[in-house]
Amino acid sequence: MLKKKIVIAITGASGSIYADLLIKKLALIKDQWEEVAVVFSENAKTVWKTELGNEDYQHISFPVFEKNDFNAPFASGSGQYDTMIIVPCSMGTLGRIANGVSGDLITRAADVVLKERRKLICVARETPYNLIHIKNMESITLAGGIICPATPSFYSNPQSVEEVVSTVVDRVIDLAGMHVKTYRWGSSPSS
């Protein structure tokens, strides 16, 4: 199996727990990726502190790039990052990507991933959606991106908030082409 080069973008949408859990799970499956890089939007750290009550984003074990660092390796197709996960993905970020506005490293990297026909996974976090959100999701889907809303499932009978969040994070890991031990449809919830 080819190892992945992944960029994780964390925006200021509610749902920092999704990013936190994804980072922790990727650290556990390090045999499945070659590189992981992280970039935060302007508001992402504030939302993280508000929602998670900590500043653990300062201690991420992966390289963290500034939002305006266009020298980051994933700002160009030649960096050969094959997967970008935006988690959580705000509707503002989604709209800028859908309309080709590359004003920061997150939107530039998403533009690069789409133009190179690589994998863009947007973990959209908003409710309800308005028609503009839906049309932007359609544009990204038509361009080859994947919209994976932060909509948990409950058929695994999750018993904690982290288990509920895992139903989305594990799906994102699957979509990125990696494998994590998780509940699979048809198995018993305890397996």
Q: How confident is the model at residue 183 (pLDDT cuts 50, 70, 90)?
A: confident
Beta bridge partners of 7: 37, 84
Say if residues 33 and 2 touch (Cβ distance below 8 Å).
no
- 190 pLDDT above the threshold of 70: no
- What average pLDDT does this structure show over 162-191? 89
**CATH 3.30.1600.10 is right for the domain spanning 4-22+31-151:** no
Summarize pLDDT for 17-75 with one digit per residue, the tens. Answer: 999 999 999 999 999 999 999 999 999 999 999 999 999 999 999 999 999 999 999 99
Residue with tokens 């302007």: 42
d(CA 4, CA 77): 14
Calpha distance 89→19 (Å, rounded): 10
CB-based contact 94:84 (threshold 8 Å): no
Rounded Cα distance, 107 and 30, in Å: 26
Per-residue pLDDT band at 189 (split at 50, 70, 90): low
Distance between CA 40 and CA 25 in Å, rounded?
18
110 pLDDT more than 90: yes
> CA-to-CA distance for 157 and 154, rounded, in angstroms?
5
Rounded to the nearest integer, the mean pLDDT of the chain is 95
Give the pLDDT band (50/70/90) at residue 1.
low
Residues 6+ apart with CB under 8 A from 24: none
pLDDT in tens, 131-160: 999 999 999 999 999 999 999 999 999 999
With a cut of 80, say whether residue 11 has pLDDT above it: yes
